[in-house]
Structure 1
Amino acid sequence: MSTHIILPRIMQVGAGASQEIPNILTSLGCKRPLIITDKVMVSLGYISTIESSLLEHSIDCHVFDATVPEPTISSITAGVNQVRHGDYDSIIAVGGGSPIDSAKAIAILGKHDGTMRDFKFPRIVNESGLPIIAVPTTAGTGSEVTKFTIITDEANDEKMLCVGMGFMPVAALVDYDLTLSLPPRITADTGIDALTHALEGYVSRKANPYSDSQVLAAMRLIAPNLRAAFHDGTNKQAREAMMLGSTLAGIGFSNASVALVHGMSRPIGAFFHVPHGLSNAMLLPSVTAFSIEAAPKRYADSARAMGIANQADSDDCANQKLLDELQALNDELQVPTLAEFGIDKEQYFSLLNEMASQAMSSGSPSNNPRIPSKDEIVEIYKKLWK
């Protein structure tokens, strides 16, 4: 049985990769890009550097910097209108997962009629939007190489998963230099997000030999370097490994799929505004403990790839080491509990059924090695509070 693989047409990886934007635009025949980013990227000077570089190549551009963390229908509306009424031929997405996810949605809606809900999974969006050059500035989401975007519908606090070739960037410029200024909290949250992508991509029911090769390589890069990048953001060796690992994990899960962690993570983010990587980190130990009995060999292989178990360890021993490591990692990276994050207990428990329903409807739990019932998801949510 063959596997359908979708990748960006162009990838530039390594220090200084982001400086290739003008050359990539020229190779695509594009002359009027819209830069989609956030105000943090503007304040750090990244966008002015790109604008100056484009000007040197006689390329005119405009900037949309109103994207927000955990993008919503309303947060992308102005960008959609700007594309619909502008004469743009491409989009340059600069930032973490939120600006890139926003750009993916804007690229589709700016070119096609309809609303974001019209493009929600299970619809598979293969229509092409404006071509996107994705320039990630965090080592975590892998959005620069995935066929997914997630946009929240404020009407019901649902994080809508949107899937299809139409959301895949045409080019990904993966430059670890852009991550050197990241603070420890973002480094930790995005790093565990990347590790979750790799682990879920490997145990997913949709895993395949190609995705396996990518996510195993990602785990070998991420696991030994995440703590180092968290404790010393100027560690270029650790930053480079994390950036490449994040991209490989993105390639892997985009061509396999994520599973229960992501399915349960999205409602926590939607209802309580917990950053996506952080809610993944909160869930990863509990969901792994729930799932491990259904794929003991796969989880044990993951522990060995992460370097926390060796070939001499039995699968049971490797899996116990994996569970211990996931909790130890959260402790060292100071991942807060739900209460420590500031979530109200009464409100949280009142929403368990709705969160479980949204998790189930996302489709991700059905990719899990142990497919949960709605009641089992509710129980995991309950245990997460403790």
Structure 2
Amino acid sequence: MFVPGIANRVLRPMLGIVDPLHALTMPERVAANSGFDVLCHALESYTAIPFNERTPRPENPILRPAYQGSNPISDLWSLHALRIVAKYFRRAVKDNTDKEARSAMHLASAYAGIGFGNAGVHLCHGMSYPIAGLVKQYRAKQYAVDHPLVPHGLSVVLTAPAVFQFCAPMCPERHIEAAGILGADITSVKKEDAGLVLADVLRQIMHDLDVDDGLNSIGFTSEDIPALVKGTLPQHRVTKLAPRPQTEEDLAMLFEKAMKLY
């Protein structure tokens, strides 16, 4: 049974403690999945619909949704987090004794959190909820649980190449910039190729860090797509922040593309 997440303004904490020592004991797969969540937080908030195009627009600001869309302030935090991820992510996953890398990624998590806490995330997260909620028999490696589990970061990143290729035509410059930060050669990239370039660099990072080869590899098939789409449709809190509107057919196409990555 798919159970949606609970979100409310009053659940937001007043104080957060960022202690990098807590990040040193994470197993490799936990570090990888946590890092991919950071990566997608930064990418989604930077490519979210601009704040001045966000609707509805209540007259009283207190009634505006918590997620505002990309804006000049959130952009600073998201891009800074992305640069840290590009420099330290692989190191942090491969070596848990690398205090510099683990500490940097822990801080990047906070930076990206400030970014998406204002701008919001979009399709990768909206599509992740049914992936995690409809898990069958998949058991994540190096997680101390005795039941099927798709970790959040994994459920988010599996759709990322398809999502950013889909959204890129709406803000190609931002997708190209992000691809460049993550290591792609963007010297002569055309706007129409923005999505392909970002999708390719994401797949390379995912391959380097041993991410499962798409939704097929964690137990889903094309027959599950209607249920995955149905689970995504109510997630308006985030899906409406995507720069490109999506139909049920679009969502089905994205899930199909995410079935196999490499």
TM-score, normalization by structure 1: 0.55
Residue 89 of structure 2 is aligned to residue 216 of structure 1: no
Q: Which has the higher helix share?
A: 2
Structure 1 CA distance for aligned equivalents of residues 11 and 171 of structure 2: 31
Amino acid at match of 1:167: L
| Residue aligning to 1:359 | 232
Contact 1:180–1:234 under 8 Å retained in 2:
yes
Contact 1:292–1:299 under 8 Å retained in 2:
yes
Deviates more, 1:354-363 or 1:181-190: 354-363
Structure 2 CA distance for aligned equivalents of residues 382 and 314 of structure 1: 27
| RMSD, aligned α-carbons | 1.9
Find the partner of 2:8 among 159, 163, 167: 163
Equivalent residue runs for 1:195-206 within 5 Å: 195-205=39-49, 206=69
Q: 5+ residue gaps in structure 2?
A: 50-68, 136-148
Q: Which has the higher contact order (CA 8 A, sep 6+)?
A: 2
Find the partner of 1:379 among 253, 257, 261: 253
Find the partner of 1:254 among 101, 107, 117: 117
Q: Which has the higher strand share?
A: 1
Task: Quote the offset at 1:304 in angstroms.
Answer: 3.1
Equivalent residue runs for 1:293-332 within 5 Å: 293-309=169-185, 312-314=187-189, 316=191, 320-332=196-208
Structure 1 pair 220–315 and aligned structure 2 pair: CA distance change class (3 A): farther
Structure 1 pair 313–221 and aligned structure 2 pair: CA distance change class (3 A): farther
Residue 199 of structure 2 is aligned to residue 340 of structure 1: no
Contact 2:168–2:194 under 8 Å retained in 1:
no
Matched positions, count:
225
Task: Quote the offset at 1:320 in angstroms.
Answer: 4.2
Structure 1 pair 182–315 and aligned structure 2 pair: CA distance change class (3 A): farther
Structure 1 pair 352–172 and aligned structure 2 pair: CA distance change class (3 A): same
Equivalent residue runs for 1:22-33 within 5 Å: none
Deviates more, 1:194-203 or 1:282-291: 282-291
Q: 5+ residue gaps in structure 1?
A: 1-155
Contact 1:222–1:246 under 8 Å retained in 2:
no
Task: Quote the offset at 1:270 in angstroms.
Answer: 0.4
| Residue aligning to 1:244 | 107
Structure 1 pair 163–203 and aligned structure 2 pair: CA distance change class (3 A): farther
| Residue aligning to 2:96 | 233
Equivalent residue runs for 1:82-231 within 5 Å: 156-164=1-9, 166-205=10-49, 206-231=69-94
TM-score, normalization by structure 2: 0.80
Find the partner of 2:158 among 279, 282, 288: 282
Amino acid at match of 2:254: I
Contact 2:85–2:105 under 8 Å retained in 1:
yes
Q: Secondary structure at the match of 1:255?
A: helix
Task: Quote the offset at 1:274 in angstroms.
Answer: 1.4
